A and B are shown apart, each in its own frame.
Chain A
């Protein structure tokens, strides 16, 4: 309840409240941390959600883009903690490239905090690379917590089909042309070169895995349906009983029984950052080969770009299938 005397006091206090010494000090410190304006960047600044998208952006943008990534290789993309320095990068970005399909929801917190309307949803510098992707495992019925940490728009690990690299690069190309139309021809040429390299590599990978068509793999997380679909492999099961749910003893026993029932040896494979204890137990019990495969550019030494990433994956799996 307010009393007249207090109301009178308020008039006196308002000026003090508006300009407290400490608040002025905070503003002064803040301004001291600033420069009047940043120097104009010659390159187009691109911030990608993941190293894979970052590499494709580099391939298309060439030397006219400066690319950085929010998630590092070997970080679980489902659980990225956005950092203050990431906000700064988004604020300075001309183009933001994301995975979409609710995998990188943490990008929304960054986009909101950065206050850069150019790269917000609907802005010219906003690129959702899932546009145009043929999505797999799109839920056909109501999903709840009982389904695990499932994504409503389908399985979001689409970059693990190398041919989807073409769709991703086309999305990035469209974004780059929007923010820098004068460089459109240059970007087009770069993308053509990237696609040509990708297709040449694709033939190589398909030849390498051709003898193993129909063979079955077990993964920790349900992250490989796109890859399996592309190379005619089958995912026998996942160590996680449902996405994001840790394995139980009964589920592992069930997987062991499934693997033992197979006529041909099964390969257990997934990214190095997933717990490998269950995979090693299953491998020891069944004789299945356990291989570590990177799911992102930079995930293992030498997987320095999108094509090298699949070189490593294909090589590791081929060796796993070939092992006696």
Chain B
């Protein structure tokens, strides 16, 4: 650093009015206001620019030299305020920028079902752009724009909503387009799933990916006693239209909820610790609204009921055991005496450390458009987490589906992301 200081001194010496050796040497030619030096304007500008650069470099070097850690800590509030936190690095959140992130997924599928158009291909399945930040004290804005090259609309707003935090004690309000509170995993974005694709029952009866609506939702943590957690979510939404139900001889897919207009949702979610490291969760969900594409055209309405049970147990470090079961029933018709389809899945996941996890998923589901048919599958899922921002997953499935008594699939999924990306409690 010494040579920079010397250079700064030399540069300063060239500036009129500065007390430096060059100026002192010209004392005999003193003029009012001190000695002067006449130099061409271009040289003067160059010197000024150089001085600015040196000063900047000096500042950086000073900042880089960490002072010794404090031996005496601040002892009170006033001193703490004086002990300002370290300045935020470039790109830090102290800047008035939202959190911007991109999460990308690619999937490859090898399948013995020759009807599957996606078999033996690797596709970019989705890129999710997240923009998140606070717009006001206790008002948070989240927007997630997804891009899927295979979709009819390659780019769409998956979620864009405001969260009013703590409107009343335990009460949050959401306004905008978002995943609705239905079932245990509907709020979870697909890059955070513990499997490659949505369990069959959710895909056929609820949504291909997540049940989404435009509207408002209230989420209230109930004032319970003891260690019982209970949260009630109530929402009213406008649906995004019918899902895409397929018929044989294609692979049969349910249309999901297919709410075409305003629909309402309610979910009660309860949890209680089991010992120091365990947690048992129980949930009941309900959704009802006008639906198109029902098995009985003209029936007008569909109703979804869901029940879920989750047990999590944590061990040392990052180890975790998760057991989950979820069942969904879908009814059609105003009196719900119309067609009914249901299904369930059972899922277990063991994470011995932060790098690996092993999952087992059993699926069973009927189809709303053909309730007399069903499909089932058993999947083994291996996940290798390379970092917080990058993982690789392999899912091997053996199952049966209408038109094919037995099939095998092997999925490979890559997920990677950049930038800060957070979601609500999942």
Binding site for B on A (CB under 8 A): 2, 6, 9-10, 13-14, 16-18, 20, 22-23, 26-27, 29-31, 33-38, 72, 74-76, 78-79, 81-85, 87-88, 91, 105, 108-118, 120, 122, 130-136, 138-140, 142, 144-145, 148-149, 152-154, 161, 163-167, 169-171, 173-174, 177, 191, 195, 226, 229-230, 244-246, 272-275
Residues of chain B lying within 8 A (CB to CB) of residue A105: 422
Question: Which of the residues B166, B234, B314, B423 comes within 8 Å of A109, measured between beta carbons?
Answer: B423
Asked if B58 is at the interface of the complex by the 8 Å CB criterion, the answer is: no
Report the minimal beta-carbon distance from A50 to chain B, rounded to whole angstroms.
Answer: 14
Report the minimal beta-carbon distance from B265 to chain A, rounded to whole angstroms.
Answer: 9
Residues of chain B lying within 8 A (CB to CB) of residue A85: 227, 229, 271-273, 279
Q: Is the CB–CB distance between B268 and A91 below 8 Å?
A: no
The size class of the interface chain B forms with chain A is 35 or more
Residues of chain B lying within 8 A (CB to CB) of residue A110: 425
Q: Is the CB–CB distance between A153 and B271 below 8 Å?
A: no
Report the minimal beta-carbon distance from A93 to chain B, rounded to whole angstroms.
Answer: 11
Q: What separation, in Å, do the CA atoms of A182 and B62 have in the docked complex?
A: 44
Q: Mark B301-335, 1 if CB is under 8 A from A, else 0.
A: 10101000000101011101000000000000010
Task: Tell me which of B25-33, B82-90, B146-154 binds A.
Answer: B82-90
Q: What separation, in Å, do the CA atoms of A1 and B269 have in the docked complex?
A: 35
Q: A105-B422, A120-B138 are in contact. Are A13 and B290 (CB under 8 A)?
A: yes
Q: A27-B266, A75-B314 are in contact. Are A13 and B425 (CB under 8 A)?
A: no
Residues of chain A lying within 8 A (CB to CB) of residue B268: 26-27, 29-30
Q: Is the CB–CB distance between B289 and A109 below 8 Å?
A: no
Report the minimal beta-carbon distance from A217 to chain B, rounded to whole angstroms.
Answer: 18
Q: What are 24 A-B contacts defined by CB distance under 8 Å?
A: A6-B290, A13-B300, A13-B301, A23-B288, A26-B268, A31-B222, A33-B230, A35-B223, A35-B224, A35-B225, A75-B318, A84-B270, A91-B221, A111-B165, A113-B221, A117-B165, A134-B69, A145-B416, A152-B88, A165-B73, A167-B73, A167-B74, A169-B73, A170-B79
Q: What separation, in Å, do the CA atoms of A33 and B223 have in the docked complex?
A: 8
Q: Is the CB–CB distance between B166 and A117 below 8 Å?
A: yes
Q: Is the CB–CB distance between A109 and B425 below 8 Å?
A: yes
Task: Tell me which of B46-54, B123-131, B195-203, B387-395 binds A.
Answer: B387-395
Residues of chain A lying within 8 A (CB to CB) of residue B140: 112
Return the chain B residue nearest A23 by Cβ: B266
Residues of chain B lying within 8 A (CB to CB) of residue A174: 76-77, 80
Q: Is the CB–CB distance between A18 and B273 below 8 Å?
A: no
- Sort A-B residue pairs by CB-CB distance and give the 4 closest, nearest first: A166-B73, A84-B271, A273-B317, A117-B166
Q: What separation, in Å, do the CA atoms of A142 and B288 have in the docked complex?
A: 49
Q: Is the CB–CB distance between A116 and B266 below 8 Å?
A: no
Q: Is the CB–CB distance between A132 and B74 below 8 Å?
A: yes
Asked if B75 is at the interface of the complex by the 8 Å CB criterion, the answer is: yes
Return the chain A residue nearest B80 by Cβ: A132
Report the minimal beta-carbon distance from A259 to chain B, rounded to whole angstroms.
Answer: 24
Q: A2-B261, A22-B305, A272-B316 are in contact. Are A76 and B425 (CB under 8 A)?
A: no
Report the minimal beta-carbon distance from B392 to chain A, rounded to whole angstroms.
Answer: 13
